[in-house]
Amino acid sequence: MPLLNVLLFARARELAEASSTTLTLPDDPPASVADARAELLTRFPQLSGVLQTSIFALNKTYVKRDDERVAIVRAGDELAVVPPISGG
């Protein structure tokens, strides 16, 4: 069961009231970033809006929305959830 470290930023951090969290995901078949997204939403339903607009970066590399199903998550990986911010 891979443990995925999730880093939450900006509005996601505010709504989840946490700057990081750990997700346990199945390894057979191996979990993808799309599974992590779904699990995150189950854990934090209040993130429904902000997850739609956020960048997902797996081990500091951007995952294209189309690639979320094929981007496999391994134990110890780190997923950053980066919402757009607008202030200046």
Partner 1 sequence: MSRASTWTPALEIERDARAVERYARHLVLPRGAALQRALCAARVLVVGCGGLGCPVATYLSANGVGTIALCDADDVELSNLHRQVGHATSKVGTSKSASLRERCLGLNDGIEIIEHRLFVNQMNANEMVDGFDLVCDCSDNPRTRYVLSDACARRGVPLVSAACVGFEGQLTVLCGTRCWDDERREFGAFTPAPCYRCLFPTPPAAGDAGTCGASGVLGVLPGIVGTFQALEAIKVLSGIGETLRGKMVYFDSLSASPTMTLNMREERDPRCACCSVEKFDQKTYDYDAFLSSTPCPIKFVKTTSINGVDLSAPPAHGPGESLDEELQKHSAWKRLSTGDFQSRSSSTGALIVDVRSKRLFDAAHLRGSVNIPIEMLDEGEWRSVVAEADANVDTVLFVCAGGNNSQRASAWFANSSLRGFRDVFDMRGGLAAWRRDVDPSFPKLG
Kindly list the residues in this chain that would bind partner 1 in the complex (CB under 8 A).
9-11, 13-14, 46, 48-50, 52-53, 55, 57, 60-62, 64-65, 80, 82-88
Complex with partner 1: residue 26 or 69, whichever CB lies closer: 69
CB distance 21 to 15 below 8 Å = no
Q: Which is nearer to partner 1, 36 or 80 (CB)?
A: 80
- Which residue is associated with the tokens 């970033």? 33
Give least dist CB 82 to partner 1, A: 6
| CA–CA–CA angle 7, 15, 24 (5° rounding) | 45
